Amino acid sequence: MNGMFLAAEGLGALLCVLIVIFIFLLVAITSCIKIVPQAQAYVVESLGAYKATWSVGIHFKWPIIDRIAKRITLKEQVVDFPPQPVITRDNVTMRIDTVVFYQITDPKLFVYGVENPIMAIENLTATTLRNIIGEMELDQTLTSREIINTKMRASLDVATDPWGIKVNRVELKNIMPPAAIQDAMEKQMKAERERREAVTKAEGEKKAAVLEAEGKKAAAILTAEAEKESAILRAEAEKEKKIKEAEGQAEAIRKVQEANAEGIRMLREAGADEAVLKLKSLEAFTAAANGNATKIIIPSEIQGIAGLAAGVKDILDK
């Protein structure tokens, strides 16, 4: 009975050992299977020496012998370095901080090329920036960001190529001159703004004066043209009035003459003598004058009749 119990215990212990060994082997095999995700790379060493660089996908390694030395991201990365003191060619000290955009192109060189790649890039950025700014004056430095960025990117890209790093862009984040320089720049900018304001105001006043003078000139021209047209219209109206008056007078004379001619014709038809006819002619001259003539020329043959008529009138009045 005891032998059977001991045999069962030995079998259980063996089973436990086998289970532990199985679990250990399962864990070991599982640990030897590695899946590299997208945009990453694994640098693998075998017994301390570089073996391979794993890209995206599933990979297997020997337990204990192989190990993953470095997991590398292949995405573009951004590093913001603190401000660095630099001196311009005209001996002005300023502080400039930079932002570097880089990407790892060769994981093997990145792992084995330099001890601390980020620190190396920072120091290289500082020295390159000092070299570039040292050849430029303050005003040129403040207005040449794009030139500085381009020069720094080219220099850093060449220097970091043996490290498996590609520098895509370099940007100057802030340029901080000394406080005294900033005050002087602000005063200069204020004076320049005031000068521009004065120039703009003077130009505005000049344009306003020119426009006002042109307006007065145009108004004077229009007034003169209006007066001229008004005078022409008044002259034409006066002319038309005189023409109408002359035509009216002529028409009146014509009507009187027609009436006198009709009266003489009727007298002749009634058998009136020559004296009556001459008297009627005299009356026609009087009517033609219409009180407007100061002198009337009467033919000699009518003047005798006029004297006879006056005599007859005197006799009848007595």
pLDDT at 63: 81
| pLDDT above 80: residue 299 | no
| pLDDT above 50: residue 133 | yes
Distance CA 263, CA 272 (A): 11
| pLDDT above 60: residue 309 | no
Q: Are 34 and 23 in contact (CB under 8 A)?
A: no
Least confident of 53-57, 58-62, 279-283: 279-283
- Per-residue pLDDT tens over the stretch 8-57: 666 667 778 788 887 877 777 777 888 889 989 999 998 889 999 999 98
pLDDT at 317: 46
Q: Is 111 helix (H, G, I), strand (E, B) or coil?
A: helix
Q: Are 37 and 27 in contact (CB under 8 A)?
A: no
Least confident of 73-77, 184-188, 291-295, 313-317: 313-317
Token pair 């003047």 is found at 303
Highest-scoring range by mean pLDDT, 19-28, 162-171, 214-223: 162-171
pLDDT at 10: 64
Q: What is the pTM of this model?
A: 0.54
Q: Which residue has the higher pLDDT, 263 or 157?
A: 157
- Per-residue pLDDT tens over the stretch 83-97: 989 998 888 888 999
Burial 260-276 (b: 16+ CB within 10 A, else e): beeebeeeeeeeeeeeb
pLDDT at 302: 47
Mean pLDDT, range 141-164, rounded to an integer: 91
Q: Are 310 and 280 in contact (CB under 8 A)?
A: no
| pLDDT above 90: residue 165 | yes
DSSP state of 56: S
Nearest Cα to 64, choosing from 32, 36, 41?
Answer: 32
Q: Which residue has the higher pLDDT, 4 or 154?
A: 154
pLDDT at 154: 92
Least confident of 192-196, 237-241, 242-246, 312-316: 312-316
Helix boundaries (H) for the chain? 2-31, 107-112, 117-133, 138-142, 145-160, 179-270, 274-289, 300-317
User: Residues 226-234: contacts with CB within 8 Å, 24+ apart?
Assistant: none
Average pLDDT score, the chain = 79
- Per-residue pLDDT tens over the stretch 102-130: 999 999 999 998 889 999 999 999 999 99
Distance CA 167, CA 103 (A): 6
| pLDDT above 90: residue 274 | no
